[in-house]
């Protein structure tokens, strides 16, 4: 058995560590009778691994607008200048209506995207600069970007709701686990005739509650509204804040 373990697990792992890290491992085997009874691992630091150079070493810490422009082919100094000026770089008479864009980065991103579909341009960098300065328009592109933004917002709200429900349900489960009597007290407040009928066949509401379904959903709603407000308050507040932030994006 040790032979297979040594060949298939220990040796490959030791080799990988020795080859890919700045640590070196030596394995000492100690026999007890005819079998290997103990293993000792000696670990020592060897050499420092070389640091991988960044693809954009000169601009990785730049303003996001500058980085976006450089990656689109704009000269670094020009990109930095545009990023520093932001809306001041745009001709005042061509400035977009306030609220049209979430920020200057989104505005620049639109102009860069326009350059990808522009026909007959010989200097893409120059086109982008002029598009930013002159606020070039492409109604169809703007419509597409708006639709994508709305879909992204809807997806963000759905994901946020899913995350909130999971946290809420987890906290309610913890509360019920700590005090099963919460379910019985909540069951007394049930208004739905159908749900109350499901409880008639069982002496304890907790039995039906643990099966899930309609009864669990109704009781959880009562627990959330009347019995677990304190423990749920921080989660609810965070959810409402994040929801408001998402809804305000792009406004």
Identify the sign of the CA torsion 111, 115, 118, 120.
Answer: positive
- Compute the distance between CA of residue 195 and CA of residue 8 in angstroms, rounded to an integer: 58
In angstroms, rounded to a whole number, what is the distance separating the alpha carbons of residues 32 and 26? 20
State the pLDDT at residue 183: 92
Question: Which residue would you say has higher pLDDT here, 44 or 63?
Answer: 63
**Where is pLDDT greater, at 61 or 234?**
234
130, 136 contact by CB (below 8 A): yes
- Residue 51: predicted pLDDT: 53
Position 130 scores a pLDDT of 94
H helices of the chain, in order, are 2-5, 11-20, 64-71, 76-85, 104-117, 124-134, 139-178, 181-187, 193-200, 205-209, 214-222, 229-248
* Whole-number Å distance between alpha carbons of 2 and 149: 58
* pLDDT per position as a tens digit, 58-115: 555 678 999 999 999 999 999 999 999 999 999 999 999 888 888 999 999 999 988 9
- Residue 48's pLDDT is 56
The Cα 207–Cα 117 span in angstroms is 63
Question: What token pair was written down for 162?
Answer: 């899913």
Confidence of residue 167 (pLDDT cuts 50, 70, 90): very high
SS3 category, 63: coil
What is the rounded distance in angstroms from the CA atom of residue 172 to the CA atom of residue 183?
10
CB atoms within 10 A of CB 76: 15
Residues 6+ apart with CB under 8 A from 24: 17, 18, 43, 44, 45, 46
Give 167-200 as a DSSP string.
HHHHHHHHHHHH-THHHHHHHTT---HHHHHHHH
Residue 201 confidence (pLDDT) above 80: no
Whether 145 has a pLDDT exceeding 80, the answer reads no
Asked whether the predicted pLDDT for residue 165 surpasses 50, the reply is: yes
Q: Are 86 and 104 in contact (CB under 8 A)?
A: yes
Q: Is the pLDDT of residue 233 over 80?
A: yes
Which pLDDT does position 154 carry in this prediction? 92
Q: Assess whether pLDDT exceeds 70 at residue 52.
A: no
- Quick one: which of 88, 90, 89, 87 has its CA closest to 104? 87
Greater confidence (232 vs 199) lies with: 232
Is 235 within 8 Å of 164 (Cβ atoms)? yes
pLDDT at 102: 82
CB 59 within 8 A of CB 66: yes
pLDDT for res 126: 94
Exposed, middle or buried: residue 66 (CB in 10 Å: 0-12, 13-18, 19+)? buried
Q: Taking 60 as the threshold, does the pLDDT of residue 50 lie above it?
A: no
- The pLDDT mean for the chain works out to 84
Judged against a pLDDT cut of 50, whether residue 251 lies above it is answered with: no
């Amino acid at each position: 058995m040790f032979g297979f373990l040594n060949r298939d697990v220990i040796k490959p792992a030791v080799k990988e560590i020795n080859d890919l890290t700045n640590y070196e491992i030596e394995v000492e085997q100690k026999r007890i009778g005819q079998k290997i009874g103990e293993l000792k691992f000696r670990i020592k630091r060897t050499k420092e691994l070389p640091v991988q150079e960044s693809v954009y070493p000169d601009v990785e810490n730049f303003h996001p607008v500058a980085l976006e422009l450089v990656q689109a082919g704009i000269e670094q100094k020009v990109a930095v200048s545009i990023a520093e000026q932001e809306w001041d770089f745009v001709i005042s008479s061509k400035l977009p209506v306030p609220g049209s864009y979430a920020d200057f980065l989104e505005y620049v991103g639109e102009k860069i995207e326009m350059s990808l579909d522009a026909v007959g341009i010989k200097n893409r960098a120059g086109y982008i600069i002029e598009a930013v300065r002159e606020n070039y328009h492409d109604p169809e592109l703007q419509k597409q970007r708006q639709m994508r933004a709305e879909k992204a917002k809807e997806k963000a709200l759905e994901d946020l709701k899913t995350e909130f429900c999971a946290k809420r349900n987890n906290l309610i489960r913890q509360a019920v686990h700590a005090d099963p009597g919460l379910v019985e007290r909540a069951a007394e407040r049930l208004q739905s005739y159908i749900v109350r009928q499901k409880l008639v066949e069982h002496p304890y509401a907790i039995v039906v509650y643990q099966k899930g379904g309609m009864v669990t959903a109704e009781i959880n709603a009562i627990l959330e509204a009347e019995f677990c407000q304190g423990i749920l308050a921080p989660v609810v507040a965070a959810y409402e804040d994040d929801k408001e932030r998402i809804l305000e994006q792009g406004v």
